[in-house]
Structure 1
Amino acid sequence: MAGQVRPFILDTMVAGRARHRGIGTGLIATAVHHARAAGCDWLHVDFEDHLSGFYFQSCGFSPTNAGLIALS
């Protein structure tokens, strides 16, 4: 639908020494809260395969179909 705002999360990172303390999931939860408060219907994230457990299990994202064209 034209005119919809779709927020997008890219390259969420937490320093190695600070991992496994809930910082990343807290960051995503904050983004979800603010996107919802802004009236957005969807929040999109793109990530490498090895991070799927974090985004799907820890943060509650659902897998979806998407497409990609390599330009270089």
Structure 2
Amino acid sequence: MQIQVRCPVDDGELSRLHADAFGHEPFLVPWSERLERHSRSWVGAFDEGELVGFVHAVWDGGAHAFLLDTVVASGHQRRGVGGRVVAALISDLRVLGIEWLHVDYEPQLEGFYEACGFRHTRAGLLRVSG
């Protein structure tokens, strides 16, 4: 398993990984453009050249970043891939001067994110559209 920080991203490959990990039909997302424009850092996990894990952090241009899109291919889940990409992202953000990393998650993911070093906090959420 190879972990790469700010790796080149193939839009189709990352779109397929998302579809696999989240159980929906694949559709092409312009990931490369989004990452370059909005993300402070991103990390990919590769198994024999195949993207099997990914995470990124968008930021406010200052001290805060927001962890998004932690995904692991269904055939590689529960092998530590998610923890490794999150740890690599945190290390890179630290080097880049980020002081606070925020994450929202569903209750069943609390153990995973606590194992990654996050502590549970209260936060608000508002669906703006739909």
Provide the TM-score with structure 1 as the length reference: 0.82
| Counterpart in the other structure of 1:61 | 118
Gaps of 5+ in 2: 1-60
Task: Between the two structures, name the one with larger relative contact order (CA 8 Å, sep ≥ 6).
Answer: 1
3-state SS in 1 of match to 2:69: coil
Distance in 1 separating the partners of 2:82 and 2:125: 26
CA apart distance, 1:66: 1.2
| Counterpart in the other structure of 1:32 | 90
Provide the TM-score with structure 2 as the length reference: 0.49
Query: Aligned pairs, how many?
Result: 70
2:73 matches 1:15: yes
Q: Which structure 1 residue ranges, 4+ long, deviate > 4 Å from structure 2? A: none
Identical amino acids, percent of aligned pairs: 43
RMSD: 1.8
Computing the radius of gyration over CA atoms, which structure comes out larger, 1 or 2? 2
Greater share of strand: 2
3-state SS in 2 of match to 1:11: strand
